């Protein structure tokens, strides 16, 4: 299998699998139990917390484990909005957020909040100016993703955080960092809340984390036994968390090498893809890992099946939004016939030049043999 | 207290010398279907089939659903059984039926005895069981003329049976007693209903699905297999998939655009006929309804029928979409049919299809198409799909 869909999910690394297996085989306890088995499990969770915190350069007690990036986004947005309800009812975000953010904010709109969606420029990025000028004295929360999951566009979250905190210190700043984690080094100094997912960094699915800056108050929405400092009740997913910790540790160690590798692969891919007749890259200011290309006249769905038959995996836009017209590309003002033919290529350090060659060959074959499917 | 099902024959009971053939078809179809649920003792006597779960922990609800979907059964009921003794019958009636009767305003007891050696006559047995029920709960009311519910007590060969209420069976004729036909199965609402209707008259179905990868998706093919798996409750099912991309591309390139859909249909009919005649099929079944879409006009149907020799059954020909949808809901295919996977990519649908074609024009339109070669290739590339558990929803 040739896998170019690392933004959808990654293959678990050996260290993550070994850590999970070790927990399942040797540490069967519930971390809340008082006996030795329970204490061992609590230690495993704490070790994972330290590993994730170190990878982010924050304190371990600022990490709240969740069941994934979506849940982390929900806890951050709902938790902050409800905690600050008395101070105001306005939220600022971008037009290109992941559905985990957009849909959660849409639900909050039904509960009486008003939401401003800041549009992106043609380069797929929002400007810090645009975000900051949307902030009013009723604003309680700003949420801007670090890297767009569909286009790879990089948002100026550091600058937004710094300037926001200088002018409106009471407004909380959340960033969905699922796509930037262990790819970009973004300091969390001026960020109050940040969401992460384990399976995008070679960990397991169903597991993630929310960074909650010390002193930030949130209203929990999963209540119960009071685990995770009362912010996310429910018995901890110990084996997945152990895998998360192991993956974060390895990812932090190899970050520079992986990044250099991916930059080289991206450069190679761009050169080779330019030989595919009719192919147009989407130009954005972004990370090297994720990029979108268009093959006008061919429907992405049909292209994906054509490639899948040749054992090549990639996505049309976000893997989470199959069948729907990408709201992100629509928000960027891309014409409908381009969006219909969009392919998202997301690279991993394990990819090879030979695989990119095969992708280009397959795309050339598609152009040669497929019938134009959108008219 | 063990529950069992009593199934009564429908039309089978009216058959003359062929009756035993029909009966054995019915029994083997029932045995075959119930085997997927668990272990059941199945016997028949006096136009009634007795289905008795062997193990208490079996899925009786699913088993009853299977029985209620079995063609050849006119009515069925869930019953309990005891020895043929008035005292035992009354005790069981109180234990089993009292909670049921209590939720109705009134009841009556109806007794039947085919075993005439039983010590009481039917009216005596009614009165006795009714009296015992009334003394168990004085709030019960008897109404012989218009009872809220009727409790049946049947004294038969092997024991006495008590049941309250009768459910309508699927009707029709036992699966497979009418032979085998090929159902052209798309992913839509109509074709599964057409298959159901012909299965009702005793046909086994060989489903034929035309797929055009990569223009149609694997999910679309899986959806069709799911539909076939639902139909397997009603008929003996066989499933074939025919890759048809090359044919569609050839039609697109070599035929006039306004005839594309009709020629596509002609190619499907030719291919299906060729494919299934060696598999024991003697007819084709389609889900067409007159005038529903451009290719289903009278002229359109004439043009697509003229290419095959087998009779083409169209049980939905005179039905409205709402009537078809109602049946799809009843038989459980509707929810799957409306899943949004394209079954035939829009790329191949002409913008302005011809609604009043004639045979001559159809032949002219096919003049450049290597018909024989394409049919031959499609038949060769068709493959069989086993309807395993993964398709059961």
pLDDT digits (tens, 9 = 90+) for A298-333: 988 889 999 999 999 999 865 544 556 788 888 888
- Shared domain for B333 and B352, answered yes or no, is yes
**Residue where a domain terminates, one of B170, B189, B214:** B170
pLDDT of B46 reads 76
pLDDT of residue A318: 58
Q: Is the pLDDT of residue B56 over 80?
A: no
Mean pLDDT score, A120-144? 95
Is it the case that residue B348 has pLDDT exceeding 80? no
Judge contact between A232 and A75, C-beta under 8 A: yes
Judge whether B123 is closer than 8 Å to chain A, CB to CB.
no
Q: Structure tokens of B104?
A: 């109705």
Residues 6+ apart with CB under 8 A from B163: B6, B77, B78, B79, B80, B151, B152, B154
Give domain status of residue B175, yes or no.
no
CA distance B26 to chain A (A): 44
CB contact B140 to A (< 8 Å):
no
Spatial distance between the Cα atoms of B74 and B13, rounded to a whole number of angstroms: 10
Which residue among B213, B252, B340 places its CB closest to the CB of A371?
A: B252
Q: Right CATH number for A14-250 from 3.30.300.30, 1.10.10.10, 3.40.50.1580, 3.40.640.10?
A: 3.40.640.10
Cβ pairs bridging A and B (under 8 Å): 25
φ/ψ of residue A129, rounded to 5 = -55, -50
Task: Please give the residue that has the higher pLDDT: either B57 or B24.
Answer: B24
Chain A residues with CB-CB distance to B215 below 8 A:
302, 305, 371, 373
% pLDDT > 90, chain B: 64
Interface test with A, best of B212, B213, B214, B340 (most A CBs within 10 A): B214
Examine the pLDDT at A263 and tell me if it is beyond 90.
yes
Judged against a pLDDT cut of 80, whether residue B57 lies above it is answered with no
Cβ under 8 Å to A: B residues 237-296: 249, 252
Whether the CA torsion B25, B27, B30, B33 is positive or negative: it is negative
Chain A hits for B345, Cβ within 8 Å: 302, 373
Q: Please tell me whether residues B156 and B297 are part of one structural domain.
A: no
Averaged pLDDT, A104-118: 97
Cβ of B217 under 8 Å from any chain A Cβ?
Answer: yes
Q: Are B189 and B302 within one domain?
A: yes
Pair (B290, B214) in one structural domain: yes
Structure-token pair, residue B250:
């050839």
Q: Does B339 touch chain A (CB under 8 A)?
A: no
Q: What is the mean pLDDT of chain A?
A: 94
**DSSP sequence for A109-152:** HHTT-EEEEEPP-TTS---HHHHHHT--TTEEEEE--SB-TTT-
The answer to whether A281 and A271 have CB atoms below 8 angstroms apart is: no
> Measuring CA to CA, which residue among B112, B79, B114, B85 is closest to residue B97?
B79
* Whether residue B264 is found in the same domain as residue B378: yes
Lowest mean pLDDT among A94-103, A122-131, A329-338: A329-338
Distances (CA, A) of A266 to A262, A277, A349: 6, 19, 10
- A360 an active-site residue? no
Residues of B in contact with A305 (CB under 8 A): 213-215, 217-218
Predicted confidence at residue B47, as pLDDT, reads 80
ipTM above 0.85, yes or no: no
Same domain, B193 and B156: no
Q: In terms of CA atoms, which chain B residue is nearest residue A308?
A: B214
Q: Which of B112, B136, B170 is the last residue of a domain?
A: B170
Residues in chain B: 393
Q: Region A157-184: what's the mean pLDDT?
A: 96
pLDDT for position A375: 43
DSSP element (H, E) containing A356 = helix A353-369
pLDDT band at B207 (very low <50, low <70, confident <90, very high): very high
Average pLDDT over residues B172-183: 93
Closest CA to B93 of B156, B162, B16: B162
| Residues A5 and A289: beta-carbon distance below 8 Å | no
Q: What is A2-8+254-369's CATH number?
A: 3.90.1150.10
Pairing of strands B40-45, B107-113: unpaired
Do B185 and B37 belong together in one domain? no
What's the pLDDT score for residue A89?
A: 96
- Is residue B345 scored above 60 in pLDDT? no
The residues, any chain, with a CB within 8 Å of residue B113's CB and separated by 6 or more, are: B121, B122, B125, B154, B155
Helix, strand, coil distribution of chain A in percent, nearest 5: 45, 15, 40
Give the residue extent of every domain in chain A: 2-8+254-369, 14-250
| Residue in A closest to B215 by C-alpha | A302
**CA angle, residues A246, A251, A256, in degrees to nearest 5:** 155
* Residue of chain A minimizing CA distance to B252: A371
Q: What is the CATH number of the domain that holds B57?
A: 3.30.2130.30
The rounded percent of chain A whose pLDDT value lies above 90 is 87
In tens, the pLDDT along B218-239 reads 888 889 999 999 999 899 999 9
Contact A302 B214 (CB under 8 A): yes
Indicate if the pLDDT at residue B206 is higher than 70. yes
More confident residue, A109 or B159: A109
**Sequence-separated (6 or more) residues with CB below 8 Å from residue B223:** B187, B336, B339, B341
Q: Give residue A373's pLDDT band: very low, low, confident or very high (50, 70, 90).
A: low
Query: Measuring CA to CA, which residue among A97, A118, A243, A102 is closest to residue A179?
Result: A97
pLDDT of residue A331: 85
What is the rounded average pLDDT of the residues B112-132?
A: 92
Number of domains in chain B: 2
Strand partners, A115: A91
At residue B346, the pLDDT reads 56
Quick one: average pLDDT of B278-286?
95
Question: Within an 8 Å CB–CB cutoff, is residue B340 touching chain A?
Answer: yes
pLDDT beyond 60 at A74: yes
B319 and B218, same domain (yes or no):
yes
Output the CA–CA distances (angstroms, integers) from residue B35 to A55, A222, B71, B252, in the order listed: 56, 44, 17, 47
Q: Could A302 and B215 be called an inter-chain contact, meaning their C-beta atoms sit closer than 8 Å?
A: yes
Whether residue B89 is found in the same domain as residue B232: no
Give the range among A149-158, A356-365, B10-19, B80-89 with minimum mean pLDDT: B10-19
Cα A194 from Cα A76, distance rounded (Å): 8
Computed from CA positions of residues B52, B54, B57, B58, in that sequence, does the dihedral angle turn out positive or negative? negative
One domain for residues B155 and B235: no
Average the pLDDT over A188-213 and give the result: 97
Which residue bears the tokens 């049976």?
B161
Q: What is the pLDDT of residue B2?
A: 77
Contacts of A308 in chain B (CB under 8 A): 214
Average of per-residue pLDDT values in chain B: 89
Report, as an integer, the average pLDDT of A25-39: 96
Does residue B205 share a domain with residue B78?
A: no
Q: Taking a C-beta distance cutoff of 8 angstroms, is the pair B22, B177 a contact?
A: yes
Position B350 pLDDT exceeds 90: no
Distance, CA of A280 to CA of A88 (rounded, Å): 44
CA nearest to A250, candidates A23, A14, A28: A14
Enumerate the residues of chain A whose CB falls inside 8 A of the CB of residue B252.
371
Question: Looking at chain A, which runs of residues are DSSP E strands?
Answer: 2-3, 63-66, 90-94, 114-118, 139-143, 172-176, 193-197, 208-212, 280-281, 290-294, 312-313, 342-346
Which residue of A308, A323, A373 is in closest CB contact with B215? A373
The predicted model gives A106-115 an average pLDDT of: 97
For position A321, what pLDDT does the model report? 46
Dihedrals φ, ψ of B151, to 5°? -100, 120
Residue where a domain stops, chosen among B135, B170, B205: B170
Nearest CA in chain B to A300: B215
- Compute the average pLDDT of residues A157-168: 96
Query: Which residue range(s) make up the domain with B297?
Result: 180-391
pLDDT at A229: 95
Q: Indicate if B158 and B192 belong to the same structural domain.
A: no
Query: Of the residues A13, A148, A207, A320, which is catalytic?
Result: A320
Nearest-CA residue of chain A relative to B219? A305
Tell me what pLDDT residue B347 has.
58
């Amino acid at each position: 299998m040739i896998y170019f869909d690392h933004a959808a999910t990654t293959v678990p690394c050996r260290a993550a699998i070994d850590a999970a297996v070790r927990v399942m085989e040797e540490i069967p306890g519930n971390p809340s139990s008082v006996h030795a088995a329970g204490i061992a499990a609590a230690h495993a969770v704490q070790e994972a917390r330290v590993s994730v915190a170190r990878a982010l350069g924050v304190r371990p007690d600022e990490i709240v484990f969740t069941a994934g990036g979506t849940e982390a986004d929900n806890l951050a947005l709902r938790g902050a909005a409800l905690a600050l309800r008395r101070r105001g009812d306005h939220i600022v975000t971008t037009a290109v957020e992941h559905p985990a953010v957009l849909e959660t904010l849409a639900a909050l709109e039904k509960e009486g909040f008003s939401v401003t969606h800041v549009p992106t420029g043609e380069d797929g990025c929002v400007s810090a100016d645009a975000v900051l000028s949307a902030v009013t004295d009723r604003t309680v929360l700003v949420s801007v993703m670090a890297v767009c999951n569909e286009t790879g566009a990089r948002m100026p979250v550091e600058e937004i955080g710094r300037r926001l905190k200088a002018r409106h210190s009471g407004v909380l700043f959340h960033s969905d960092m699922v796509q930037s984690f262990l790819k970009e080094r973004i300091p969390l100094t001026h960020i109050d809340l940040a969401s992460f997912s384990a399976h995008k960094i070679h960990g397991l699915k169903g597991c993630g984390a929310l960074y909650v800056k010390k002193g930030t108050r949130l209203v929990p929405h999963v209540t119960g036994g009071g685990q995770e400092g009362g912010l996310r009740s429910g018995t901890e997913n110990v084996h997945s968390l152990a895998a998360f910790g192991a993956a974060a540790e390895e990812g932090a160690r190899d970050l520079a090498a992986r990044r250099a590798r991916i930059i080289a692969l991206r450069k190679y891919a761009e050169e080779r893809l330019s030989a595919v007749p009719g192919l147009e890259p989407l130009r954005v200011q972004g990370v090297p890992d994720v990029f979108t290309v268009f093959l006008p006249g061919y429907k992405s769905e049909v292209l994906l099946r054509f490639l899948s038959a040749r054992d090549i995996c990639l996505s049309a836009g976000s893997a989470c939004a199959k069948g729907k017209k990408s709201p992100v590309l629509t928000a960027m003002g891309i014409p409908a016939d381009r969006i219909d033919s969009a392919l998202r290529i997301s690279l991993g350090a394990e990819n090879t030049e030979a695989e990119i060659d095969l992708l280009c060959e397959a795309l050339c074959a598609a152009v040669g043999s497929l019938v134009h499917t959108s008219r | 207290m063990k529950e069992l099902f009593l199934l009564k024959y429908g039309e089978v009971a009216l058959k003359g010398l062929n009756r035993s053939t029909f009966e054995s078809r019915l029994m083997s179809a029932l045995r075959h279907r119930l085997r997927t649920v668990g272990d059941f003792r199945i016997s028949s006597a006096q136009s009634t089939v007795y289905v008795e779960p062997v193990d208490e922990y079996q899925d009786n609800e699913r088993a009853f659903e299977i029985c209620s979907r079995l063609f050849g059964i006119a009515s069925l009921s869930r019953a309990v059984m005891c020895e043929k003794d008035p005292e035992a019958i009354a005790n069981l009636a109180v234990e089993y039926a009292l909670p049921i009767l209590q939720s109705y305003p009134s009841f009556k007891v109806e007794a039947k005895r085919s075993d005439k050696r039983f010590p009481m006559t039917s009216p005596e047995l009614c009165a006795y069981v009714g009296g015992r029920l009334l003394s168990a709960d004085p709030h019960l009311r008897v109404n012989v003329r218009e009872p809220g519910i009727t409790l049946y007590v049947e004294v038969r060969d092997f024991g006495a049976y008590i049941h309250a209420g009768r459910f309508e069976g699927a009707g029709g004729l036992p699966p497979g007693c009418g032979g085998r036909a090929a159902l052209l199965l798309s992913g839509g609402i109509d074709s599964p209903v057409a298959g159901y209707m012909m299965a009702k008259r005793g046909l086994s179905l060989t489903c034929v699905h035309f797929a055009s990868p990569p223009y149609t998706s694997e999910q679309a093919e899986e959806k069709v297999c799911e539909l076939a798996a639902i139909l397997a409750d009603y008929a003996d099912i066989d499933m074939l998939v025919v890759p048809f991309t090359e044919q569609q591309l050839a039609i697109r390139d070599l035929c006039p655009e306004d005839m594309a859909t009709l020629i596509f249909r002609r190619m499907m009919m030719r291919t299906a006929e060729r494919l299934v005649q060696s598999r024991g099929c003697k007819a084709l079944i389609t889900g067409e309804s007159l005038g529903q879409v451009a290719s289903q006009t009278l002229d359109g149907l004439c043009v697509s029928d003229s290419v095959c020799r087998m009779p083409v059954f169209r049980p939905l020909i005179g039905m409205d979409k709402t009537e078809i949808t109602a049946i799809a809901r009843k038989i459980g295919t509707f929810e799957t049919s409306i899943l949004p996977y394209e079954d035939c990519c829009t790329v191949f649908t002409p913008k302005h299809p011809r609604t009043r074609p004639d045979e001559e024009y159809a032949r002219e339109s096919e003049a450049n198409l290597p018909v024989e070669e394409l049919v031959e290739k499609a038949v060769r590339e068709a493959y069989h799909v086993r309807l395993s558990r993964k398709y059961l929803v």
